[in-house]
Structure 1
Amino acid sequence: MTGRPSRRQLFGVAGAAAVGAAAGGAIVAVDNEAPQQPPVRAISPYGEHQPAIAGPTPEHAELVALNLLPETDKAALGRLMRLWSDDIVALADGRPAPGDSTPELAVANVALTTTVGLGPRVFELTGHKPPGLDDLPVMRHDRLEPAWSGGDLLVMVGADDAVSVVHAVRRLVADAKPFATPLWRQTGFWNSTGADGRPVTGRNLFGQVDGTGNPAVGTPDFDHTVWSSDGPEWFRRGTTLVVRRIRMNLDAWDELTRSEQERAVGRTLSTGAPLTGSAEHDELDLQARDADGRLVIAENSHARLSHHSVNDGRRIFRKGLNYVQDNGPTRESGLIFLSHQADVAGQFLPLLARLDAADALNDWTTTIGSAVFALPPGFQADSWLAHELLS
């Protein structure tokens, strides 16, 4: 997989020229004859895993869940996966997919990725369901709406460019029409680049640095957390995805003092550092107490309750997409929470139950959508998605 360069890399040459021109009124000559190499922001669609899973959160993304038509059987689902695999390759390369009615919208170098998932009901057709892949139970604080929940299939498209995302989703949904019909769509955005052009964790709409505790990509801890090594043979090197649409009450959050907000989170909002540290990735000191004897990181703080040390070592790899939805004169804001793990029941569900029972953030958040999917391993040029399951 080829990652996109940072904004510092993209604009560093222009920035240096501007500084040189400003210093002492100097004039900088620019060699217009020098070949200009376009930035390479293409991500290969091939690999052992679907490439977006371990990649950075995209700037723009759309998720579409679909339900299979009654006549779609295992063989038909295999045909759809072949079609989608062809589409994924073409769109990642900046080429129009077969039958594209707007080929001009297929452009290269926008870091476009497509991720495909299979919902629990698919395995009634195919068998070989990954262990623990069942719809999540409804939690006490959930207020789930059918408009944002469930689904037999998932396609998630991400890119630097919103037009490319819309175009890719349009093609994928069009090719699925003989096999499945859309159930819900969710669009979101994320900023994982700092002011200096360097990668950062990113923030949700509460202003919280969101995702600090993730295992580092490429480490044994990440591999153990995310990639399946058990269950059906076809699913080895795959993962599972939980999608939770979380509505956030920004007006009520804004009424809190800064210290109240930070006590609920367990981290400082300015840097993301734990309240017992000074930098984002400092370890939490869950035993530290203040001068009054109170735990510095409160018992019900999100940082404490979600930490792997109080969850029997269980970890997830979480991402997020901010969303806003205008409903006439009102606006709903929130987070599309995305959690990758090898085993939903073994890793995610116990963590979810702990947070539902006591998380301070429950006072300002409500989960209104929930879905789970198995994400097949990646594919190579001579193969296609989920071929081991559907051949």
Structure 2
Amino acid sequence: MLGYAGVAVAGAVAGGAGGVAAARRADDASHQAAEMVARDISPYGEHQPAIAALSPKHAELVALNLLPGTNKAALGRLMRLWTADIVALTAGRPAPGDTAPELAVPNAALTVTVGLGARVFALTGSKPAGFDDLPVMRHDRLQAAWSGGDLLLLVGADDAVSVVHAVRRLVADAAPFARPAWRQTGFWNGTGPDGQPVTGRNLFGQVDGTGNPAPGTPDFDATVWADTPDWFRGGTTLVVRRIKLNLDTWDELTRSEQERAVGRKLSTGAPLTGSAEHDELDIEARDADGRLVIAENAHARLSHHSENDGRRIFRKGLNYVQDTGPTRENGLIFLSYQADVAGQFLPLLARLDASDALNEWTTTIGSAVFALPPGFTESGWLAQALLG
């Protein structure tokens, strides 16, 4: 700092404006450095930190199935290993035994979320209320390659290399206990042109997730965080649905037809009865011909909490593209967080399956449910209250 100050003063004496410009550049650099440091997200806390955060730019989900002989004690050992990995990797340090330590870098906003599938509770008991595998819906065309799982890793970061490296390390440490069942990769843009957070869009072009309760509010806490059983207080449940989007037939629609199916304007995400994204839906509004402005089968109407006895979820998404030879599959990895799957998500899913206009252009091909245990302290580890 003293060395820089000397140069800046000399420049100011010699050229005035040049010294001021240099000082401003240094000030900008220090602010940028501070912002970069802030991108390391602490793994500690009452809740796993990625749950309430924005969808990551790059993410990978890995479901694993337990190996024969993996019991409650072995699961506890795995959770201790994963906790140590998470603490190191999210700080930009190599995990214990890391074979590629140079790939562990700071300032990547790396997060790791861990989930437990139904089979875990066959070993441990104390299953969260309403937690079970989802029934197969009428419009589902589920594939085993994207469904089920005993454990889940959801790794996200600003940098795709950091995601790949973290998954590689976590899966390697799980090898004595569980093997991967499926992997899904996705991406999301939750940043606007001005660098500020925005809701983000799916590959249909829709602003996706507008109706969410805001993190940190009473509505969010009531929607997402579980209170029982005791070991699960501060945790939540996650439904993962892999939804294939038929972009070819969607693109054949006029813009007004697309908006009517959704119930929102494509330009801003505003409801068809409003002018801004977060305007409330007017579900009673009618046009000059007496038709409902937001159609009875519009996605925004059917999923709105006012149409579902006040039930809410916290939804996030990841776009995905998968190439198979000359063909390409486009879709959405739909992530729904809620305290109670049976009480909150299932009634909403049944309602959408029955009559959602978007069913014509979407097909769910994967489905899985996980309980996400609460966070941990510096002296603790993941799921300690269940497995300790």
TM-score, normalising length: structure 2:
0.93
CA distance in 2 between partners of 1:50 and 1:284 (Å) = 32
Is 1:286 matched with 2:286?
no
Correspondence for 1:75: 73
CA distance in 1 between partners of 2:294 and 2:304 (Å) = 11
Correspondence for 1:186: 184
Correspondence for 2:14: none
| Structure 2, unaligned runs of 5 or more | 1-16
DSSP 3-state at the match of 2:22? coil
Correspondence for 1:165: 163
**How far did residue 221 of structure 1 move?**
0.4
Deviations 1:279-298 (A, max 9, x none): 00000000000011100000
Give the alignment partner of residue 210 of structure 2, picking from 209, 212, 217: 212
Is 1:241 matched with 2:238?
yes
Correspondence for 1:262: 259
Correspondence for 1:370: 367
Is 1:34 matched with 2:26?
yes
Deviations 1:256-288 (A, max 9, x none): 000000000000000000000000000000000
CA distance in 2 between partners of 1:297 and 1:150 (Å) = 35
TM-score, normalising length: structure 1:
0.92
Matched to 2:105, the amino acid is: V
DSSP 3-state at the match of 2:359? helix
Correspondence for 2:41: 43
Correspondence for 1:23: none
Pairs within 5 Å for 1:324-363: 324-363=321-360
Correspondence for 2:3: none
Matched to 1:265, the amino acid is: V
CA distance in 2 between partners of 1:261 and 1:195 (Å) = 25
Deviations 1:8-39 (A, max 9, x none): xxxxxxxxxxxxxxxxxx98843499374322
CA distance in 1 between partners of 2:168 and 2:120 (Å) = 23
DSSP 3-state at the match of 2:190? coil
CA distance in 2 between partners of 1:333 and 1:200 (Å) = 22
Deviations 1:305-340 (A, max 9, x none): 000001000000000000000001000000000000
**296 and 53 in structure 1: CA distance in 2 versus 1, 3 angstrom threshold:** same
**300 and 83 in structure 1: CA distance in 2 versus 1, 3 angstrom threshold:** same
DSSP 3-state at the match of 1:270? coil
* Regions of 4+ moved over 4 Å: none
CA distance in 2 between partners of 1:185 and 1:161 (Å) = 18
Q: Percent identity?
A: 81
Give the alignment partner of residue 174 of structure 2, picking from 170, 173, 176: 176
Matched to 2:22, the amino acid is: V
Correspondence for 1:129: 127
Is 1:114 matched with 2:112?
yes
Correspondence for 1:222: 220
DSSP 3-state at the match of 2:352? helix
DSSP 3-state at the match of 1:273? coil
Larger radius of gyration: 2
DSSP 3-state at the match of 1:30? helix
Matched to 1:141, the amino acid is: H
Correspondence for 1:21: none
| Structure 1, unaligned runs of 5 or more | 1-25
Q: Number of aligned pairs?
A: 365
Deviations 1:340-374 (A, max 9, x none): 00000000000000000000000000000000000
**How far did residue 87 of structure 1 move?**
0.2
DSSP 3-state at the match of 2:26? coil
**How far did residue 229 of structure 1 move?**
1.3
